[in-house]
């Protein structure tokens, strides 16, 4: 029988920080992996409690039936294909986890999975193997016979992280090139390790031994970028891009998650995640982030996206503009300007004067800013937004019509 978890109002460990809120959305088990399909369904593998699916960014979760073993060790997806590895085998589903078919296992243990429209790839203790998307005979496509702990497609390029280096291929593993240039090798452990990768515009970002690296040439070489946390093995535990230009980094053994809106040059700290020793992973759906921990799946709903739209022009005065569009449904944009560096808050209130959202709560440099706010979870009516600094404040009204 399928198990349905409903959590609507009661969010455990909910903390509001700036423009994010973290809360235990459901699946209160040790999580082993997260993946999202093109149907925007998100799957969460657990240690001993099966595979769960959400179709609404994490508010409702349903246990997927059909898998005989409930511990999911590897998880990936491509299109509407979902692949799950447990101790009883390797499985795939083409109907969003309703039914499952088995795939014959390769010779060596699977450590990672990746897929495109033509092949399923498995990283093993002896390199990379592949088969067609519905299973069949495995072929060795390994760049070497080393333990392959991580794989990911960035566009049509497949990256494979092995103990002897990072490699990539654009022809499904027929040929590989070395993508190590600029990446560190552990002097103590004597091997390479890339744990997470994500594209941002034309660049690629990756984590390795507690640091973040950027490539501007499709992974041929890498440069280290500023990191807001200590550098040691295993510290970087997640890396995703939300809404095209927001880079998020997860941190192990910490209650912090970090956000950058300028490609990693500067970081904003979001607190509120439980402090555990478990490994994090992150996926996003629209402006919703899900992060795995040993205590379950935690989510952050980002109702706002902040953009600094003017950097160099001198600003001589404060102003708060009327939102546009107005009336709106469900999103609107608020613009304001500040003439000097200072702490800024921008809050939204309902018709009764009750604060319902804190959009901005941070120190900002002089400039023009715009903030996009989604009111999808609120009912029609009049709302107010108010900006406050140490020397300026203003309030305006806006109308939501659904």
**CATH code of residue 375:** 2.60.40.1930
Within a domain: residue 200?
A: yes
pLDDT computed for residue 190 by the predictor: 63
The whole-number pLDDT of residue 298 equals: 56
Q: Which domain holds residue 34?
A: 11-103+180-302
| DSSP output for 297-333 | EEEEE--EEEEEEESSSPP-S-EEPPPBSSSBSSEEE
DSSP strand pairing (331-338 vs 319-320): antiparallel
Whether residue 85 sits in one domain with residue 22: yes
Indicate whether 154 belongs to any domain: no
Answer yes or no: is 150 within a domain. Answer: no
Q: In terms of domains, do 292 and 222 share one? A: yes
- Give this prediction's pTM: 0.68
Which of 259, 284, 302 lies at the terminal end of a domain, its last residue? Answer: 302
Does 197 share its domain with 265? yes
What is the separation, in whole angstroms, between the first and last Cα of the chain?
A: 38
Instruction: Tell me: do 94 and 189 sit in the same domain.
Output: yes
Question: What pLDDT score does 358 carry?
Answer: 85
Task: Give 188's pLDDT tier (boundaries 50, 70, 90).
Answer: low
Last residue of a domain, one of 302, 335, 350: 302
Same domain, 289 and 316: no
Do both 72 and 198 map to the same domain? yes
Tens digit of each residue's pLDDT (9 = 90 or more) over 386-397:
999 988 999 999
Where residue 23 falls among pLDDT bands split at 50, 70, 90?
Answer: low
Structural domain count of the chain: 2
Residue of higher predicted confidence among 309 and 217:
217
Rounded to an integer, the average pLDDT of 335-353 is: 90
**Domain identity same for 198 and 283:** yes
CATH of the domain at 61: 2.120.10.30
Does a structural domain hold residue 254?
A: yes
Check whether residue 310 and residue 395 sit in a common domain. Answer: yes
27 and 57 share one domain: yes
Residue 212 resides in a domain: yes
Last residue of a domain, one of 302, 322, 341: 302
Q: How confident is the model at residue 254 (pLDDT cuts 50, 70, 90)?
A: low
DSSP character for 56?
S
Specify whether 45 is located in the same domain as 18: yes
Taking only Cα atoms into account, the Rg of the chain, rounded to an integer number of angstroms, comes to 23
Residue 295 lies in a domain: yes
Q: Stretch 275-295: mean pLDDT, rounded?
A: 50
- pLDDT score for 191: 74
Better-predicted residue by pLDDT, 113 or 272: 113
Tell me the pLDDT band of 34, cut-offs 50, 70 and 90.
Answer: confident
Distance CA 102, CA 97 (A): 13
Q: Which residues contact 174 (CB under 8 A, 6 or more apart)?
A: 141
In a domain, 153, yes or no: no
Cβ of 301: how many Cβ atoms within 10 Å?
20
In a domain, 134, yes or no: no
13-27, 287-301, 303-317, range with greatest mean pLDDT? 303-317
Q: What is the pLDDT of residues 151-177, one digit of tens each?
A: 999 999 999 999 888 999 999 999 999
The answer to whether 278 touches 291, Cβ cutoff 8 Å, is no
Q: Are residues 185 and 198 in the same domain?
A: yes
Same structural domain, 219 and 340 = no
Mean pLDDT (the chain, rounded): 79
Closest CA to 51 of 227, 297, 270: 297
């Amino acid at each position: 029988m399928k198990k349905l978890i409903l959590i609507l109002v009661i969010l455990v460990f909910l903390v509001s920080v700036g423009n994010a809120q973290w809360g235990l959305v459901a699946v209160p088990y040790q999580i082993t992996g997260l993946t999202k399909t093109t149907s925007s369904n998100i799957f969460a593998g657990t240690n001993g409690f099966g595979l769960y699916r959400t179709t609404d960014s994490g508010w409702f979760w349903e246990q997927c039936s059909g898998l005989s073993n409930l511990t999911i060790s590897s998880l990936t997806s491509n299109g509407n294909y979902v692949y799950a590895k447990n101790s009883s085998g390797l499985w795939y589903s083409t109907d969003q986890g309703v039914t499952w078919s088995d795939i014959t296992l390769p010779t060596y243990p699977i450590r990672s999975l990746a897929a495109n429209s033509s092949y399923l790839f498995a990283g093993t203790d002896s390199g990379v193997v592949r088969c067609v998307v519905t299973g069949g005979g495995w072929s060795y496509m390994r760049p070497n016979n080393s333990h392959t702990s991580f794989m990911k497609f960035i566009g049509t390029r497949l990256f494979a992280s092995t103990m002897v280096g990072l490699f990539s291929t654009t022809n499904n593993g027929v040929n590989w090139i070395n993508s190590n240039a600029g990446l560190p090798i552990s002097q103590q452990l004597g091997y390479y390790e890339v744990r997470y990768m994500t594209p941002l515009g034309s660049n690629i970002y990756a984590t390795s031994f507690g640091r973040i690296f950027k490539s501007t040439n499709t992974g041929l070489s890498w440069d280290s970028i500023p990191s807001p946390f200590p550098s040691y093995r295993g510290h970087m535990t997640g890396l995703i891009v939300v809404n095209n230009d927001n880079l998020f980094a997860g941190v192990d053994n910490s209650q912090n998650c970090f956000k950058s809106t300028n490609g990693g040059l500067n970081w904003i700290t979001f607190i509120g995640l439980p402090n555990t020793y478990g490994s994090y992973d992150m996926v996003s759906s629209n402006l919703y982030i899900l992060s795995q921990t040993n205590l379950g799946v935690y989510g952050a709903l980002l109702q706002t996206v902040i953009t600094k739209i003017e950097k160099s022009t001198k600003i001589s005065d404060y102003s708060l503009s009327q939102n546009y569009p107005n009336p709106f449904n469900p999103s609107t944009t608020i613009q304001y300007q500040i003439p000097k560096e200072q702490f800024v808050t921008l809050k939204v209130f309902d018709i009764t004067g009750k604060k319902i959202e804190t959009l901005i709560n941070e120190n900002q440099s002089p400039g023009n800013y715009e903030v996009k706010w989604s009111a999808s979870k609120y009912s029609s009516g009049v709302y107010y937004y108010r900006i406050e600094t140490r020397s300026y404040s203003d309030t305006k009204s806006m109308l939501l019509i659904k």
